[in-house]
Amino acid sequence: MRPVIGLTVSRTGDDGKLRDGVSVAYIDAVVAAGGLPVLLPNTGQTEVLNRLDGLILTGGGDFDPKWYAQPNVGTPPGAISAVRDLAEIQIIRTAMHLKLPMVGICRGIQGLAVALGGTLIQDIARQRPHSEVCHYQTEGRAVVTHSITVDSPSQLFGILAARNLSVNSFHHQAVEMVPPGWRAVAWSDDGVIEAMEWSGTHFAIGVQWHPEDLAADGDPGGARIFAELIAQGAKFRGSAEER
């Protein structure tokens, strides 16, 4: 059986009907890499993680700054979903306890920081006014608009086989302080953290860009991130079966 990969979801409902859903690009990227995607609704229930082989923390709105003990200095209240915040924090902490392979994407890397003891830059334009990097592009989802530098050696460097690459960018917040046990492994030219990874024994990384959209456009680097998660998920399943 293909590795089963859980995907967190956004809660929307401008027409009065609440929906939990995710961009099809995530689903397609998991399927193309050989995985079986399963959506995780914002119920706060974590028992399903025991049936997964891997986890993707998907993009979306902002976390309430209360979760990392900061006053609100640039997080739009309308961008916050209290239900999703709580559900994902519970998922992240449980997944780390289970040593579940995982990748956090955009909001996902921020969620890893928030849930595990790090902090965020709430608004890059306000808190880094001299930055010349456009972190929220107006170009299409698969268009790369700024460069990043990847630390070597790192797990991410091993996956991408590149120290310098260009990425797409759709965020106004970013990781400010990585959580204990994690280390930053990629930065944009203005010093904003673009990726971090867990220094322990199981596979867990976060990236600030959107590799699912790049993979959909045929970018090999984007596809490699999902391929690595599926490979790690297969190993995780194998070790669980041995136990």
| Residues acting as catalytic residues | 106, 210, 212
Single-letter amino acid, residue 101: P
Peptide bond into 41 cis (omega under 30): no
Q: b/e map of 91-122 (b: 16 or more CB within 10 Å)?
A: bbebbbebbbbbbbbbbbbbbbbbbbebbbbb
Q: How far is it, in rounded angstroms, from Cα 48 to Cα 54? A: 11
Residues β-bridged to residue 195: 186, 207
Tracing tokens 């929906």 back to the chain, one arrives at 19
* 57 secondary structure, DSSP code: E
